[in-house]
Amino acid sequence: MTRSPLIPIFRSVSFICRLLAFASGAVIIILLVPLAVPFLDNAASFSYIRALLSADHVITGALRANIPTIIARHDMTRLIGVVLSFVIGSTFSHSADSFKGKAQYIRYKASFEEWKQTMHLSDNAIVLNPLNQKLEQLRHAGKKDREQLLRDFADTKRKLDAMGRDLAFLSIDVVDSTGMKEGEERASVEHDFREYRRLVDRTFTACGCVKATWTPDGVMSAFANVDAAVRAAREVIRNLDRFNAEVKSMRREFTVRCGVNSGFVYFDESMPLEQLSDRVLDIAAHIQKKAKPNSVCVAKPAIEPLNERSGFEPAGTMVDGYEVYEWRKEGA
């Protein structure tokens, strides 16, 4: 983790402010000592008492030389000194806490950013909302609240870590869906795309889809492993032969592009898939966009654990830095 140069600066300033607050407290003690001396027998015989009395003489002399200390004919030097020292000490103590808090915020923010990059989470990933909220609170929290927030931050991070799992993502899109609809009756378009969606949903259910979300003519889906995602993609493409021959009524046939990728993601089953922002999903979508009609394209790291690799060949393309392998339906 790259350490911010501001952290040691803020810590040093906090330490200096803490020392000055301590010094202000010492001044208060020095100013109060002469009030107690008359009640102590032989107090002046002790060297440290004499040293404190000498320091008191210097402090009160400085106060009288620089500010008015006679109020209503009463010498208020000592009271003014105590009050000023208390105010100054409180100010320095508050500043020390403030700079310490800033150093903690920067340290936790840097740790959070490193963790986010390690887990390939984007800035707007909804799963990060709890941590983002805790960090924002930490920035403005007081000393008492800060300790609780730091514990909450650690607890929230542990909960998010527990949500992590390996999943495979399948992105499918209808090739030139806009062009297919041109010149067609609205009823035919609605019927065909509704039936196409049913075909895909049935296939996903049969292949163990964990969760799916639809755009108008495309779908992003999650599966427990790459084998299930690839099997679903192949089945959709194969089932389109019967669908085009017996179900659809539009002139043009349905063809699809499929992209598959897998990786470790933070996944909450109660959260809609479209709210899951992660590079693993982005790569699946990018691979799908580069795929040929009626083909299944898989990133090389995702194809390595695939048990059924028959029919996959290098596609000769790179997507987001990954080599792509391709399966195409016979005759496509």
Is 132 among the domain residues? Answer: no
**pLDDT number for residue 331:** 57
**pLDDT number for residue 120:** 62
- The chain-wide mean pLDDT, for the chain, equals 87
**pLDDT number for residue 325:** 93
Selected residue with higher pLDDT from 148 and 320:
320
Tens digits of residue pLDDT in 106-146: 888 888 777 777 666 666 666 677 777 777 777 777 777 77
Please answer whether residues 108 and 101 qualify as being in contact, where contact means their C-beta atoms are separated by less than 8 angstroms.
no
- How crowded is the C-beta side of 132, counted as CA atoms within 13 Å? 10
Please answer whether residues 120 and 278 qualify as being in contact, where contact means their C-beta atoms are separated by less than 8 angstroms.
yes
Whether residue 182 is found in the same domain as residue 318: yes
Whether residue 82 is found in the same domain as residue 207: no
**pLDDT number for residue 123:** 66
Q: How far apart are CA 16 and CA 92, in angstroms?
A: 9
Tens digits of residue pLDDT in 66-108: 999 898 888 999 999 999 999 999 999 999 988 988 888 888 8
Q: How far apart are CA 317 and CA 170, in angstroms?
A: 18
Our count of domains for the chain comes to 2
Selected residue with higher pLDDT from 269 and 214:
214
Q: How far apart are CA 16 and CA 83, in angstroms?
A: 21
Whether residue 98 is found in the same domain as residue 202: no
CATH number at residue 189: 3.30.70.1230
Is 158 among the domain residues? Answer: no
Going by the DSSP 8-state scheme, the letter that residue 272 receives in this structure is -
Instruction: Find the mean pLDDT for residues 258-277.
Output: 77
**pLDDT number for residue 76:** 92
Q: What 3-state DSSP class applies to 214?
A: strand
**pLDDT number for residue 106:** 86
Whether residue 190 is found in the same domain as residue 98: no
Instruction: Find the mean pLDDT for residues 150-155.
Output: 76
**pLDDT number for residue 124:** 64
Tens digits of residue pLDDT in 179-230: 999 999 999 999 999 999 999 999 999 999 999 999 888 999 999 999 999 9
Selected residue with higher pLDDT from 125 and 63:
63
**pLDDT number for residue 179:** 93
Q: How far apart are CA 137 and CA 263, in angstroms?
A: 32
Instruction: Find the mean pLDDT for residues 34-43.
Output: 84
Query: What stretch of H or E contains 221?
Result: strand 218-223
Q: Residue 53 is part of which domain span? A: 6-118
Is 141 among the domain residues? Answer: no
Is 130 among the domain residues? Answer: no
Is 211 among the domain residues? Answer: yes
Whether residue 95 is found in the same domain as residue 173: no
Whether residue 175 is found in the same domain as residue 245: yes
Q: Could you give the angle at which helices 226-246 and 186-206 cross, rounded to 10 degrees?
A: 150
Whether residue 179 is found in the same domain as residue 313: yes
